[in-house]
C-alpha cells in the first residue's frame, strides 16, 4: 500500500504477556522460564491461571485454566501469586507513555489501549509506539494498525509478539475471508455455533449474508450488527473519556466443596454485603444482581434479576442475591460463588449520593 497523505488511523496497543512480563521485569531470572501467575501462587490450591509466559503457553497453559490442571501440564513451572498493585503501577506507566505521544488514548484495561493517530506513515508511527513504551517501562507490546477499531484489534494478534500488523478494507478479505467467524472480535464460540447451524462458517460467508436472515436468527439489532463484523465495519470512535465501571463483583473460591446449602446462602449474603459496600464508596446505586456459581468439578453458570428500583438498602440487595439461590441445582457441590451488582450510570451520582446518605441514617 502506498501511503503519502496524512490521515486518521486506529492503532491497538496490546502488551505482550503483560502480567508475566511484569514479573520477569521484577525478577530477570524468570526470563525464558515457564511462569504461571494465579491465585496465591500455590498450584495445589483451588484457583485459576491469570496469565502464563509464552514458554508455558506453548504447553497449553492459559488464562482461566485451573491451577491444578496447569500443574499437571507443567509440574516444573514457576507458580507466582497475583500482585495487582504491581500490575496497576506498570499499566499506569504504559498508559502515561501513550498519552505523551500526543494522540487520543482509549484505555481498554491493564494491558491494552486504542490510539487515534493522524499520520502519513502508520507503520513507522506504530514502531515508535513500541519503542517509546519499551524505553519507558522495559515492557514489549504489539501494535495493530487499522482503519477502524475492529480491524486494528484483530490485527494485533497477527503481530504478536513485539510486532506490527496492518489490517484495512483493502486486505480484509484476503486476510480474514476464509477464517472461521469466531476469529472476529465480538463473535464468541456460542454465536459461531449458531451461525454454523445457518451454514455460515467463514468471515466471507458472514459478510455476504442478508441482514434479514441474521435479524431473524439473532434479533433485529444484534443480527445486522453481527453482519457488520463479517464486513469489517466499525464506526465507533476512539475516545479519551475515562472508562467507567458498570458493575462491581466479589467472588470466593472454596478449597473444599460446599455441600451445605445453608452455608451457600450465607456465603452469598456475605458477598452481597461486600459488593454493596463497594457501591456505596462509588456513590452509585444497585439496579441488578447477578449470581455466579461454579459447580464441581468446573462448570460455571450465572443467573440474574433486576431490582425493583435503584437502591443502596443492604437488606434489599442481600435478600435479592440470596433469593437467586433457589434457582440453583442443590444436588451439586459448589467450588466457587460470586455476586455482581450492576450500578446506576455516573449521571445519577447526585441522586445516588442522596439515597446513600438516607440509607445510612
pLDDT tens by residue, 90-132: 999 999 999 999 999 999 989 999 999 999 999 999 999 999 9
Within this chain, domains 9-168 and 173-231 share the same CATH topology = no
How far is 56 from 173, CA to CA, in rounded Å?
33
pLDDT at 350: 42
pLDDT band, very low/low/confident/very high, at 52 (cuts 50, 70, 90): very high
Q: What is the CATH number of domain 247-359?
A: 3.30.1490.100
Which SS3 state, helix, strand or coil, does residue 207 take?
helix
- Domain boundaries along the sequence of the chain: 9-168, 173-231, 247-359
Q: How far is CA 295 from the centre of its chain?
A: 23
Q: Please choose, from the candidates 208, 342, 318, the residue with its C-alpha nearest in 3D space to the C-alpha of residue 266.
A: 318
Rg of the chain's alpha carbons, rounded to an integer?
Answer: 23
For residue 149, give the C-alpha cell.
477499531
User: Could you tell me if 203 and 183 are in contact, meaning their C-beta atoms sit under 8 angstroms apart?
Assistant: yes
pLDDT at 351: 44
pLDDT at 4: 57
The mean pLDDT of the chain is 93
How far is 77 from 75, CA to CA, in rounded Å?
6
pLDDT band, very low/low/confident/very high, at 5 (cuts 50, 70, 90): confident
pLDDT at 32 exceeding the cut of 70: yes
How far is 343 from 257, CA to CA, in rounded Å?
31
Fold of the domain spanning 173-231: DNA polymerase; domain 1 (1.10.150)
pLDDT at 347: 62
pLDDT at 7 exceeding the cut of 70: yes
User: Could you tell me if 67 and 39 are in contact, meaning their C-beta atoms sit under 8 angstroms apart?
Assistant: yes
pLDDT at 3 exceeding the cut of 60: no
pLDDT at 232 exceeding the cut of 70: yes
pLDDT at 346: 82
Residues known to be catalytic: 112
pLDDT tens by residue, 243-300: 788 999 999 999 999 999 999 999 999 999 999 999 999 899 999 999 999 999 989 9
pLDDT at 355 exceeding the cut of 70: no
* DSSP alpha helix (H) spans, 138-286: 149-159, 172-176, 189-197, 203-207, 211-218, 222-231, 261-282
pLDDT tens by residue, 167-215: 999 999 999 999 999 999 999 999 999 999 999 999 999 999 999 999 9
pLDDT at 228 exceeding the cut of 80: yes
pLDDT at 311 exceeding the cut of 90: yes
Q: Please choose, from the candidates 303, 299, 319, the residue with its C-alpha nearest in 3D space to the C-alpha of residue 257.
A: 299
pLDDT at 168: 97
Residue 85 parent element (H or E): helix 84-99
Fold of the domain spanning 9-168: Alpha-Beta Plaits (3.30.70)
How far is 196 from 157, CA to CA, in rounded Å?
24
Amino acid at each position: 500500500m502506498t501511503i503519502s497523505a496524512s490521515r486518521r488511523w486506529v492503532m491497538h496497543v496490546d502488551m505482550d504477556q503483560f502480567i508475566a512480563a511484569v514479573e520477569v521485569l521484577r525478577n530477570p531470572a524468570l526470563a525464558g522460564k515457564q511462569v504461571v501467575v494465579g491465585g496465591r501462587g500455590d498450584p495445589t490450591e483451588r484457583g485459576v491461571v491469570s496469565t502464563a509466559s509464552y514458554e508455558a503457553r506453548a504447553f497449553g497453559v492459559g488464562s482461566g485454566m485451573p491451577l491444578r490442571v496447569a500443574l499437571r501440564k507443567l509440574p516444573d513451572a514457576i507458580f507466582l501469586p497475583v500482585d495487582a498493585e504491581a500490575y496497576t503501577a506498570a499499566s499506569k506507566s504504559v498508559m502515561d507513555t501513550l498519552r505523551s505521544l500526543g494522540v487520543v488514548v482509549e484505555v481498554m484495561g491493564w494491558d491494552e489501549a486504542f490510539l487515534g493517530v493522524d499520520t502519513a506513515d502508520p507503520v513507522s508511527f506504530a514502531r515508535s509506539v513500541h519503542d517509546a513504551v519499551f524505553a519507558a517501562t522495559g515492557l514489549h507490546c504489539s501494535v495493530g494498525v487499522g482503519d477502524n477499531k475492529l480491524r486494528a484489534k484483530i490485527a494485533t494478534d497477527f503481530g504478536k509478539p513485539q510486532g506490527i500488523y496492518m489490517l484495512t478494507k483493502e486486505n480484509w478479505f484476503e486476510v480474514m475471508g476464509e477464517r472461521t467467524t469466531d476469529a472476529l472480535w465480538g463473535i464468541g464460540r456460542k454465536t459461531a455455533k449458531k451461525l454454523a447451524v445457518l451454514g455460515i462458517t467463514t468471515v466471507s460467508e458472514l459478510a455476504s449474508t442478508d441482514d434479514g436472515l441474521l435479524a431473524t436468527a439473532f434479533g433485529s439489532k444484534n443480527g445486522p450488527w453481527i453482519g457488520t463484523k463479517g464486513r469489517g465495519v466499525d464506526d465507533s470512535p476512539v475516545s479519551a473519556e475515562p472508562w467507567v465501571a458498570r458493575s462491581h463483583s466479589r467472588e470466593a473460591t472454596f478449597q473444599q466443596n460446599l455441600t451445605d446449602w445453608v452455608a451457600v446462602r450465607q456465603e452469598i449474603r456475605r458477598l452481597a454485603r461486600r459488593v454493596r459496600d463497594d457501591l456505596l464508596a462509588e456513590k452509585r446505586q444497585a439496579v441488578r444482581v447477578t449470581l455466579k456459581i461454579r459447580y464441581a468439578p468446573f462448570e460455571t453458570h450465572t443467573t440474574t434479576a433486576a431490582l425493583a428500583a435503584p437502591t443502596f438498602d443492604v437488606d434489599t440487595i442481600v435478600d435479592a442475591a440470596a433469593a437467586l439461590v433457589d434457582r440453583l441445582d442443590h444436588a451439586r457441590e459448589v467450588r466457587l460463588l460470586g455476586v455482581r451488582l450492576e450500578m446506576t450510570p455516573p449521571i445519577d451520582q447526585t441522586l445516588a449520593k442522596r439515597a446513600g446518605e438516607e440509607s445510612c441514617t
